[in-house]
Amino acid sequence: MAGFKLLLCLSLLQAVYGKGSESAIQCTPEVMKVTVPMDGDRRMSYLDQLKDYKPCMPYMEDNAATFMLDLQDPHKCGVTRVLNKITGKRTFYHKIVIEDTAGGRETVTVRCVVTGKLRALAR
């Protein structure tokens, strides 16, 4: 029984540390910035269903892929927006796909909650 527990513990550690570091999300009412560390065996990162769509590709810097998702125009990169009419909170969602060198895929759902009124920006 102790051997089984040790094996289970080691397999969980490999699952946690083998996939790389956690993504970082920064939210403002205008943009959602998602930084995906490309460490471990991670090879490629892209928005779900938008693998080769150039306007929504991440930019790479310091071994990390950074997505800048425009929340003023959520349809540009397929960001899902949900409005709670009672509280006024707007929740934005998207899925990011991370491929590894062996061809495996990991999907991460990123979420950003914005309160208050929508501010229009002059562009």
The residue extents of the domains of the chain are 21-114
The CATH number corresponding to 21-114 among 3.40.50, 2.60.40, 3.30.2320, 1.25.40 equals 2.60.40
Contact of 39 with 56, CB cutoff 8 Å: no
pLDDT in tens, 41-78: 899 999 999 999 999 999 998 899 999 999 999 999 99
Contact of 70 with 78, CB cutoff 8 Å: no
pLDDT in tens, 3-51: 544 333 434 444 444 556 789 999 999 999 999 999 888 999 999 999 9
Q: What's the burial of 97, exposed, middle or buried (CB within 10 Å: 0-12/13-18/19+)?
A: middle
Within 1-123, strands assigned E span 24-27, 31-37, 42-47, 59-61, 64-70, 80-83, 90-100, 105-114
Supply the pLDDT for residue 16: 47
